[in-house]
């Protein structure tokens, strides 16, 4: 079986990058078509169980209006060591020009974890996002779900 055919080609979006730490490689997709481009940590970090740290990536970006980038954990690190991001996914606004930082947490209950400068510790997913216009009304239109939430459809 081959993968389903792609819809009509969508152009790649150009993202400008600044390497604040020129010795680190730029963000890159590990394989063609990957959703996330890997981000590296710019410093060595050791996290005790339950500890978190704000970690620099040495990277600043500028993307077009109408886009946002989301910082996601890497599942390999999550499965092997319990490493995640506190605010997953972290939101990078299109107007943000500062250094992308990762709020990394060690969720393992027993083992400390060491991340070394240059390790690929997170991934950046670039997406189109809509801007909403919030219109206040007295009543919201009816729907089949109504106000049912939090398991209202059953287990
Ligand atoms: O994991 C993250 C999340 C955010 N940011 C940067 C980019 C983003 O545009 C900015 C603000 O993030 P967010 O809106 O999530 O935080 P906030 O607490 O609402 O801060 P602000 O008041 O600056 O919007 O911080 C990061 O570098 N890493
Ligand atoms: Mg904000």
The whole-number pLDDT of residue 33 equals 95
71 lines ligand 1 (CB under 6 A): yes
The whole-number pLDDT of residue 9 equals 66
Quote the ipTM score.
0.99
Residue 36, both tokens: 């996330």
91 lines ligand 1 (CB under 6 A): yes
Residue minimizing CA distance to atom 13 of ligand 1: 91
The residue to which tokens 């590990």 are assigned? 30
Q: Residue 121: which of 80, 60, 61, 66 has the closest Cα?
A: 80
The whole-number pLDDT of residue 6 equals 72
């Amino acid at each position: 079986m081959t993968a389903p055919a792609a819809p009509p080609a969508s152009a790649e979006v150009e993202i400008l990058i600044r390497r604040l730490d020129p010795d680190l490689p730029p963000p890159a997709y590990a394989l063609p078509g990957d959703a996330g481009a890997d981000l590296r940590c710019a410093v060595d970090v050791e996290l005790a169980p339950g500890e978190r740290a704000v970690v620099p990536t040495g990277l600043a970006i500028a993307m077009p209006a109408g886009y946002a980038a989301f910082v996601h954990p890497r599942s390999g690190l999550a499965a092997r060591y319990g490493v995640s991001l506190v605010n997953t996914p972290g939101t990078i606004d299109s107007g943000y020009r500062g250094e992308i930082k990762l709020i990394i947490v060690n969720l393992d209950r027993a083992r400390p974890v060491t991340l070394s400068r240059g390790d690929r510790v997170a991934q950046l997913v670039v997406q189109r996002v809509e801007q909403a216009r919030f219109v206040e009304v007295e009543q919201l239109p009816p729907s089949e779900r109504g106000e049912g939430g939090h398991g209202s459809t059953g287990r």
